[in-house]
Structure 1
Amino acid sequence: MQATSASILSSLQNSEAPIAWQQLLTDVITAFNCSTGTIHTLDKGSQLLSLQAHKGIPPFLLPKMEAIPIGKGMAGIAAQRRAPVEMCNLQTDESGVARPAAKETRVEGSIAVPMLLDGELYGTLGIAKPMPYDFTEDEKRDLLKIGEEMSRHLRAGSVQPTP
């Protein structure tokens, strides 16, 4: 059965089991018909976004994505603004929001949303498609809700260690 945003949300809301980051990311990517994605959690000590799961990211880019400062790149800006940051086509974007190396992912339509619970930042969730795309308001709302439930698990400490 293919994951949907509603099934992901329901699973997160109705489970006390630890989050399996990689499976959750795979389910989100599938539900939104995307090809790549990342989950970063906020390290409260360093105030850096720490990579927990990734899919479809070229290996040579991973070192640049392991720890992201708040305010840098799409994930960092979504964290700073506490709002979704999206690009219809990352390949042609000249706003400076996406880091130059991000173009090496070969994705186009992309979005990063903050993971928030009661106004507190817990991390970011980013997904992208291999073609130009504008995410709908419903999709943005669903991604923010998924991020909120992920944050609830982080607050409760019910996450699996990253391998």
Structure 2
Amino acid sequence: MHARRESLEPWLRSFIAESGGIAGTVHLVEGDALALAAAVNIPEKVQEVTRVVPRGKGMAGLAWERGQPVQTCNLQTDSSGDVRPGARAVAAQAAVALPVRDASAGVRAVVGIAFAGERDLDQEELARLAERAGALPA
């Protein structure tokens, strides 16, 4: 995992900067779970809890399960049940988890990005973020 982490972290930093975010993660599909492969500005406590994410748990697990972006306008106050309590430790508000597909249309990764302010991402912005996330190195 360390070689992957080193190669994905520079991409993630660039993705966050280009998208106006302040924090983010990359989880790769490994068998029946997501494995944390890169994290930027994510507290160590949150990284520990999200090293392995089951399908359907938290924003990343739900994005994988649903095959579509899962977002919140505010990590701190979300009551949908999609956001796990540990996510509140990230100093951010709006966030989205974006599934990244492989050549056969299966989800191969989930890219998460968080923003400083509270907001809803419209379909156009979600599409732009999803397109950028799709450039995740294989």
Tell whether the structures are fold-level matches, with TM greater than 0.5: yes
Aligned-partner Cα distance in 1 for 2:46–2:133 = 24
Give matches, 1:21-32, under 5 Å.
21-32=8-19
2:3 aligned partner = none
Q: Deviations over 1:26-83 (max 9, x none)?
A: 0111011111000000002xx1101111011111221101110010000000000000
Q: Kindly provide the amino acid, as one letter, of the partner of residue 133 in structure 1.
A: R
Q: 1:40 aligns with which of 27, 32, 54?
A: 27
TM-score, normalized by length of structure 2? 0.88
Match of 1:132 in 2: 118
Alignment root-mean-square deviation, CA: 1.5
Mean Cα deviation higher: 135-144 or 66-75: 135-144
Q: 94, 119, 122: which one pairs with 2:108?
A: 122
> Shift of residue 90 of structure 1?
1.3
Distance 2:21 2:135 in 1: 20
Q: What per-residue deviation string (whole Å, max 9, x for no partner) do you get for residues 99-129 of structure 1?
A: 0111111211000010113321101000001
How do residues 11-160 of structure 1 correspond to structure 2 at under 5 angstroms?
20-44=7-31, 47-117=32-102, 118-150=104-136, 153-154=137-138
Residues in 1 aligned to 2:95 and 2:130: alpha-carbon distance in whole angstroms: 15
Listed as ranges, the gaps of 5+ residues in structure 1 are 1-18, 155-163
Conserved? CA contact 2:72–2:120, under 8 Å: yes
User: Deviation at 1:96?
Assistant: 0.8
Q: Secondary structure at 2:134's aligned position in 1?
A: helix
Identity score, percent: 30
Alignment partner of 2:75: what SS?
Answer: coil
Q: Is the 8 A contact 1:48 1:70 kept in 2?
A: yes
User: Which protein shows a greater Rg?
Assistant: 1
Q: Distance in 2 between matches of 1:138 and 1:31?
A: 16
